[in-house]
């Protein structure tokens, strides 16, 4: 069994501890990784035990465990046990006033988040957001973005990636190739973007192109009509091949956004199969609903050699020991920077 790749799916779980049904399901399904949400995070001790139990359920100590800990309104770890990390916009505003201070602050903030996550056993953070929100866009991105100017977003997002990796946590850039023009929330319906490929390439794709060397990326459930008017990016072989892998040049581990989102249609097996057939390395299912997970499994397969290689390359970035880090000094410096 050791030579068989895990299944190309990342699953959530229902609560703060695993049920016997979940343990049995995960042992049989053999997902490549797991993702945690606020419902799974009650205290540091409990989260550490849950991470241990999740990895034990599939028999792999190096199983990736993900979380959405962006800061601001998207954070699964909250006070009183965890620091209230600021939203991305706060760093963007600081960077407009003082670019060097903005980069230092966002790197420190990411390093502090990494310290919290690594302490719990979480080794992948679904951040930074590289989307460039437009004035007429749905507010789902909003203050999660590091601004609207591609070069600045790329600089700040790279600092986030560096801070996370320094603390032993892998970043996921999202939502490739860009969610910033979407006039609908893909959690609720399918957004369609109508601008030309040339305009997308010149603006929306630029931060992703600048950070194409980062190890992991999450797709956008958005239709880009100039490239593939039939299906969203997550399920578009044309878009993944020509834009994400080609034009943008991303050769890291490509993860679908959540299969449960209403932007996607059809049954869960069909959604999973479509995303993998399009070129995603792995699909993501977040709800923790066991019946849905059974359906997802029927539409998935084992991680293929290319996907396994990309995952191993990502893991290698955080394989060594992390440098000594003074959390209190970092928090003090971060507060001083944000007060500028």
Catalytic residue ranges = 187, 257
Q: Residues 35, 64: contact at Cβ < 8 Å?
A: no
List, in sequence order, every residue forming a beta bridge with 179; answer none if it has no partner.
none
Q: What backbone phi and psi angles, to 5 degrees, belong to 34?
A: -135, 160
List, in sequence order, every residue forming a beta bridge with 9; answer none if it has no partner.
283
Q: Which of 109, 122, 110, 118 is nearest to 36 (CA)?
A: 122
Residue 168 gets the label, from left (phi > 0), alpha (psi -120 to 50) or beta, of left
- The CA-based angle 328-154-194, given to 5 degrees, is 135
Q: Which of 90, 149, 89, 83 is nearest to 116 (CA)?
A: 83
- The CA-based angle 122-35-171, given to 5 degrees, is 55
Helix, strand, coil % in the chain, rounded to nearest 5: 45, 15, 40
CA distance 297 to 276: 12
DSSP string, 11-44: E--SSSS--HHHHHHHHHH-EEEEEE-GGG-S-H
- For 225, residues 6+ apart whose C-beta sits below 8 A from its C-beta are 192, 193, 194
């Amino acid at each position: 069994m050791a030579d068989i790749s895990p299944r190309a799916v990342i699953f959530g779980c229902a609560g703060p501890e695993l049920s016997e049904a979940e343990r049995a399901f995960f042992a049989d399904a053999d997902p490549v990784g797991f993702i945690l949400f606020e419902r799974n995070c009650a205290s540091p001790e409990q989260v550490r035990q849950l991470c241990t139990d999740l990895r034990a359920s599939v028999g792999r100590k190096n199983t990736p465990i993900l979380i959405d800990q962006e800061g601001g309104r998207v954070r699964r770890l909250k006070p009183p046990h965890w620091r209230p990390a600021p939203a991305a916009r706060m760093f963007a505003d600081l960077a407009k006033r003082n670019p060097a201070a903005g980069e230092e602050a966002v790197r420190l903030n990411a390093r502090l988040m990494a310290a919290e996550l690594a302490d719990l056993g979480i080794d992948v953070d679904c951040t930074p957001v590289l989307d460039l929100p437009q004035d007429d866009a749905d507010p789902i991105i909003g203050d999660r973005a590091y601004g609207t100017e591609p070069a600045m977003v790329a600089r700040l997002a790279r600092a986030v990636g560096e801070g996370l990796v320094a603390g032993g946590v892998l970043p996921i850039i999202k939502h490739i190739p860009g969610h910033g023009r979407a006039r609908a929330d893909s959690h609720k319906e399918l957004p369609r973007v109508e601008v030309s490929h040339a305009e997308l390439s010149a603006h929306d794709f630029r931060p992703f192109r600048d950070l194409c060397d980062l190890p992991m990326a999450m797709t956008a459930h958005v239709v880009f009509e100039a490239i593939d008017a039939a299906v969203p990016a997550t399920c578009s072989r044309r878009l993944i091949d020509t834009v994400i892998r080609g034009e943008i040049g991303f050769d890291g581990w490509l993860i679908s956004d959540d299969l449960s989102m209403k932007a996607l249609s059809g049954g869960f097996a069909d959604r999973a199969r479509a995303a993998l057939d399009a070129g995603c390395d792995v699909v993501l299912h977040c709800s923790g609903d066991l019946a849905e997970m059974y359906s997802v499994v029927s539409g998935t397969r084992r991680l293929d050699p290319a996907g396994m290689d990309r995952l191993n390359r990502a893991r290698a970035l955080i394989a060594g020991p992390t440098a000594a880090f003074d959390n209190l000094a970092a928090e003090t410096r971060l507060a001083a920077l944000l007060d500028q």
